[in-house]
Structure 1
Amino acid sequence: MRATSSNLQVICAPCRSCLVTPTSPPRRSIHTSTSSISPRSTTALIHARKLHPKAAPNPVRDFHGKKSELNRRLLTFDLDNTLWDVNAVIIAAEKAMRGWLEVHVPEVVAFYQTQGVADIRSRVIAEHPEFRHNLSRLRTLVVQRSIEACGYGPAQASTLAQAAFTVFMECRHRVQYFEGALETLDQLAGNYTLAALSNGNADIARLGLDRYFSFSCSAADVGASKPAPDMFLAALNRAGVKARDAAHVGDHLHDDIAGAIGVGMHAVWCNFVGQERPADSVAPSATVTSLAALLAVIEDLFSAR
């Protein structure tokens, strides 16, 4: 998510909670990899960067692979549930982390079973409301506080929580891409600037997707989750394009579609499960039922101007 450094990263947006596994059924996939700032504040940040380059950190992480050349039009992509099924990934990652805890901190597993973590999570968010947009920090601190509740000191609990989270993140990056995802990205990257915008903590470089994406930005980077405009505006600013020359691709009608439309971008809804669009939701610029369909849809969107 570099010209200036930032630890890019999105626990996943769809699960919306810490240590609670989602239950939605997985979708068909084939490829496997093992690898709130206000709008006014965002505008000020962008202007500050233009006038005084050292005044504020750049929230965008640049990549410099063979596909990194900036083109005149920008395509931004959501990640979780747009390029892969995140529910299966998080379930597997949580299972692996719990397995590690059973060996190294068995008391905390029993604590989860009897007490749960909802109260601890609520207290952590009350203490650190900014962690709502930094799910890695949120998950790690919830695990740490749970370990502390079992009688461990803060320093030891922090070390154990970090180790457990490392196990979680290793599995979190073992994704199965939806059919046609990588082929579609490869073709689009030859004609457009591609960027990743995610509320979650998947790392583009760790996944090897930096060969397609020129840069990425996360909720943790800007301190705000989609549909807030911060990520979209940061991407437009980095690519140097007008909103009318950019399109966002995502599965979430509120976070992705409403967020992109709200800043003037085109928005393509990835409706892979035949979902009925609510009448009161923001209408997407276009809808696709497979990633392969993006090639023609994106071309039509930009040629229709």
Structure 2
Amino acid sequence: MRYKNLFFDLDDTLWAFSDNARDTFEEMYHKYGYDRYFRSFQHFYELYERRNTELWKEYADGKVTKDELNRQRFLYPLEAVGEGNAALAKDFSVSFFAVIPTKSKLMPHAREVLEYLAPKYNLYILSNGFQELQCRKMRSAGIDGYFKKVVLSDDIGVLKPWPEIFHFAMSATGSELRESLMIGDSWDNDIAGAEGVGMHQVYYNVAGRTSFPFTPTFHITDLRELMQIL
């Protein structure tokens, strides 16, 4: 057996972050009467997503703190329509973070694949997500029992794709790079990050990406393909 240790990204690799987040945002949008400020939920969500993407990049580069990331991404949509109500944005965010980890949608076939892999490999999570959310999300979806350890960027204050988080994951789990495989949906964070430290990778291409700076070790579009590879 070539690999002993499988490191999974969590959001949009196993736990359906995009669907669960959108569902939660729509609940909060109606709970807080945001239709007073926005043409539609879609209008609000597009504003949020645009700034959120920018802020996560700034957070990865160390330009903003975790608290500032969360403050700005919830306030920005209101500011964009001339309603910069910081207290409202804060209430919205508190409710959002209370509800989202209770969501349980998984990516297609995630549970089936974990059932197959768990008896054969050491399974770990390697995620950029926040400590206070990731384990709760896994419990809500009923997948926490498959994993021997959850390694988060919060643990050391360094995000994928930086080499330090991958080396930390090896140390924290007693793993070696040559016996380990990174599985994730983010080209930059998961695949390029793993490649940068000499770790093999499985690119779960849910976005339909067609151009690649290098060839990943494995390339899949369906999680069930892992059962053929491994």
TM-score of the superposition, structure 1-length normalised? Answer: 0.56
Q: What letter corresponds to residue 125 of structure 2 in structure 1?
A: A
**Distance in 2 between the 1:175 and 1:133 partners?**
28
Pick from 138, 154, 176: which aligns with 1:207? 138
Mapped pair 1:81 → 2:12 = yes
Mapped pair 1:294 → 2:226 = yes
Q: What letter corresponds to residue 165 of structure 1 in structure 2?
A: S
**Distance in 2 between the 1:143 and 1:94 partners?**
11
Task: Note the 1:53-202 alignment, pairs <5 A.
Answer: 73-102=4-33, 130=62, 132=64, 134=66, 138-140=69-71, 142-143=73-74, 157=87, 161-169=89-97, 170-171=99-100, 173-201=102-130, 202=133
> Which residue does the alignment assign to 2:173?
239
Equivalent residues of 2:19, 2:105 under 8 A apart: no
Cα 1:286–1:132 change in 2 (3 A) is: farther
**Distance in 1 between the 2:185 and 2:6 partners?**
15
**SS of alignment partner, residue 177 of structure 1:** coil
**SS of alignment partner, residue 160 of structure 2:** coil
**Distance in 2 between the 1:228 and 1:143 partners?**
26
**Distance in 1 between the 2:64 and 2:111 partners?**
30
Q: CA deviation at 1:194?
A: 1.4
> Which residue does the alignment assign to 2:155?
221
Cα 1:142–1:258 change in 2 (3 A) is: closer
Give unmatched runs, 5+ long, in structure 1.
Answer: 1-71, 299-305
Q: CA deviation at 1:126?
A: 8.5
Q: Deviations over 1:237-293 (max 9, x none)?
A: 111121001100012222211111211211011124653233xx1321112232122
**SS of alignment partner, residue 165 of structure 2:** helix
TM-score of the superposition, structure 2-length normalised? Answer: 0.72
Cα 1:87–1:247 change in 2 (3 A) is: same
Q: CA deviation at 1:183?
A: 1.8
Mapped pair 1:264 → 2:193 = no
Q: CA deviation at 1:75?
A: 0.9
Work out which structure has the larger RCO, using CA pairs closer than 8 Å and 6 or more positions apart in sequence.
Answer: 1
Name whichever structure is richer in helix by fraction.
Answer: 2
Equivalent residues of 1:180, 1:291 under 8 A apart: yes
**Distance in 2 between the 1:147 and 1:268 partners?**
39
**Distance in 2 between the 1:257 and 1:161 partners?**
34
Mapped pair 1:255 → 2:189 = yes
**Distance in 2 between the 1:177 and 1:166 partners?**
23
Give unmatched runs, 5+ long, in structure 2.
Answer: none
**SS of alignment partner, residue 216 of structure 1:** strand
Q: CA deviation at 1:143?
A: 3.6
Task: Note the 1:270-281 alignment, pairs <5 A.
Answer: 270-272=204-206, 274-278=208-212, 281=213
Q: CA deviation at 1:92?
A: 2.1
Equivalent residues of 1:133, 1:220 under 8 A apart: no
**Distance in 1 between the 2:125 and 2:65 partners?**
16
**SS of alignment partner, residue 277 of structure 1:** coil
Cα 1:99–1:226 change in 2 (3 A) is: same
Q: CA deviation at 1:179?
A: 2.5
Cα 1:238–1:272 change in 2 (3 A) is: same
Identity, in percent, stands at 27
**Distance in 2 between the 1:195 and 1:237 partners?**
13
Task: Note the 1:4-43 alignment, pairs <5 A.
Answer: none
Equivalent residues of 1:80, 1:86 under 8 A apart: yes
Cα 1:101–1:220 change in 2 (3 A) is: farther
